[in-house]
A and B are shown apart, each in its own frame.
Chain A
Amino acid sequence: MIKVKLFATLREGRQKEVVFDYFDGITGKYIIDMLDIKEDDVAIYLINGIDGKINDKLKDGDVVSIFPPVGGG
């Protein structure tokens, strides 16, 4: 099982937390595609609280956190 935590605007039209069944080779890229999140909307991407890459393979039990970019002033 992979728990995915979404933050800020990524929650719009989605849940705060989404659970995916684990399979060998599952990545963040697969998850964001399934959630219909654009890659440009992924600014901070954490695997178990540590900076990760969306193409990194996930392990069963991993927790993924995704934050969108904030850039205004």
Chain B
Amino acid sequence: MGRYDRNMNMLSREENERLRNFKVCVVGCGGLGGYVIEMLGRLGIGYITAVDMDVFEETNLNRQILSNVNVIGKYKAMEAKERMKLVNPDVFINPVVEKFDIENGERILKGHDLAVDALDNIETRFVLQDICEKLNIPLVHGAIGGWFGQVTTIFPGDRTLDVLYKQKVKKGIEKELGNPSFTPALVASIQVSEVLKVLLNRGEVLRKEVLYIDIYSQEYHKIKL
């Protein structure tokens, strides 16, 4: 249990042990998803499904923790599994090399305790919200764009994305700004802290509120929705 010594006493021994029985589905293995998987694995979440149909490209190297020069052209979901073998072999990674959509979403998500929205487009985020609601699975949403990001935790019935993206636009400010190395790491960290609290049912989560992050001005707004 030495691996998890530094998780104590923030978590109790019993809580640490419970973590290995949870199944979390991370949808998207890019900037956010890579860090989310890394941190969930180091925490000791026992079963992580990693969903992404893409392969690594050179343009991913500036920010995606699962990428390196040796894996260009390889599937992101498969690389999540390879990396976790080195980071924490106790964790089972279930790679799903598919584009998450309305057809396969239910099959992919079924049986998980929680889903993490680490997608890169707004349209698919709504599909994920719908399927999570149908399967009664909580969803931790994160999104980034340049110096900015947001996190919220959505329980079935909340439909928080309907408020966050009223205009149902396909892309946000990231289309102009791109994404640097540090924003995904920050937003992913906050997402993982939300995952942990939801799974262990303690602390306060960002339910029906969004944390809107502006690291350009260092402003952090918690907005009730």
Residues of A within 8 A of B (CB): 7-9, 39-46, 49-51, 65, 67-73
Contact = CB atoms under 8 A, between A and B. Distances in A.
Looking at chain B's contact residues, is the secondary structure mostly helix, strand, loop, or mixed? mixed
Contacts of A39: 167
Interface residue tally on B, bucketed by range: 35 or more
B113 interface: no
A8 B33 contact: no
A71 B221 contact: no
21 contacts: A8-B214, A9-B177, A39-B167, A43-B169, A44-B163, A44-B212, A44-B223, A67-B212, A69-B122, A69-B172, A70-B145, A70-B148, A70-B173, A71-B143, A71-B165, A71-B174, A72-B31, A72-B120, A72-B143, A73-B120, A73-B143
B30 A8 contact: no
B172 A43 contact: yes
A67 B126 CA distance: 19
A7 B149 CA distance: 12
B144 A70 contact: yes
Nearest to A54: B166
Interface in B70-110: none
Contacts of A8: 147-148, 173, 212, 214, 216
Given A9-B177, A43-B165, A71 B122 contact: yes
A50 B223 CA distance: 9
